[in-house]
Amino acid sequence: MHVPVLLNETIALLDLKENDLVLDGTVGFGGHSSHILNANTSIKIIGIDQDPVAIAHSTEVLGDRATLVHGNFSNAKKLLSPIGIHSVTKILIDLGISSYQLDSAGRGFSFMNDEPLDMQMNPNGGRSAAHWLNTAPEKTMSDAFYNWGDLIHNRNLVQGIIQSRRKTPLKTTGELVMLVKQSYFFGSRPKMMKTMSQVFQAIRIAVNDELGVIQRFLDNELGILSVGGRVAIISFHSGEDRLIKQFFKAHTDQFRPINKKVVTAEQDEIRQNSRSKPAKLRVYERIG
């Protein structure tokens, strides 16, 4: 259902030990966690995810050595305190969206199907992509497409959205796809697919406040990691990676990098799973 990216590299750099208590802050469908549990029979997992479908699936997959909690990893301390967990020895955060969420009907993450414009990682989150597209100011949309979709030229798209929503609120991914097609000259199908991906990525990041979530986690939640423990973070966008790199560069008194250079997927993995191509892995050890 979901192929974990940079799996071998992540497990190796986490340096798993006997009796490790691992916080998988984005447990998803258990791809990384199932392999972590296989590394040693004494390891236990605390898994967090904001998608109730993922929690239900991972409950079956991971078994009784995993404790799963519904919520957002940026609230890790608050979520784990009621179950008596105040520190962990390892943390894994995989910031990628799962293949299931991209491909399953009805979630609106993919431009390949005509679905309601939702894109909420937590289906009960409250603000859908349709709401954002129909209410966001012009500058907010332009900045989102520029910063999170790497779409330098987005004026035609933003104006198209504004003009369209004045007549009828946007409701489906099909309507958005049509606006994108009207806003750009592609020249080739690969160019069109790339642009669609950039547009949908930018909207998803905005709807779920993904960079804000990462920043809140880094600022407030890393105290749950014990001294000598390691945190591994897999990012998929330059904005995410920049936040992570800047945070740990500013906290060298507390964390040291395990990998001097960012780890990326080998060509064999990219051939087998194209979604691993933009992935970047950084691992740090808490020293104070």
pLDDT in tens, 13-37: 999 999 999 999 999 888 899 999 9
Domain boundary among 162, 180, 208: 208
> What predicted TM-score, i.e. pTM, was given to this entire model?
0.90
Q: For 126-167, what is each residue's pLDDT tens digit? A: 789 999 999 999 999 999 999 999 999 999 999 999 999 999
User: Which residues make Cβ contacts (< 8 Å) with residue 116, sequence separation at least 6?
Assistant: 106, 108, 128, 130, 171, 172, 173
Write the CA distances from 56 to 47, 52, 60, 68, 77, integer angstroms: 12, 6, 7, 9, 22
* Maximum CA extent, the chain: 61
Domain boundary among 157, 184, 208: 208
Q: State whether 193 and 235 are in the same domain.
A: no
Q: State whether 90 and 28 are in the same domain.
A: yes
pLDDT at 107 over 90: no
Q: State whether 199 and 246 are in the same domain.
A: no
User: Which residues make Cβ contacts (< 8 Å) with residue 13, sequence separation at least 6?
Assistant: 230, 232, 258, 259, 263, 281, 283
User: Is the CB of residue 195 less than 8 Å from the CB of residue 189?
Assistant: no
pLDDT at 99 over 70: no
Q: For 71-94, what is each residue's pLDDT tens digit? A: 999 999 999 999 999 999 999 999
- Neighbouring-strand partners of residue 257: 284
pLDDT at 192 over 90: yes
C-alpha 180/C-alpha 177 separation (Å) is 5
Amino acid in the structure at residue 235: S
What residues make up the domain containing 181?
A: 111-208
Q: Across the chain, what does the average pLDDT equal? A: 93
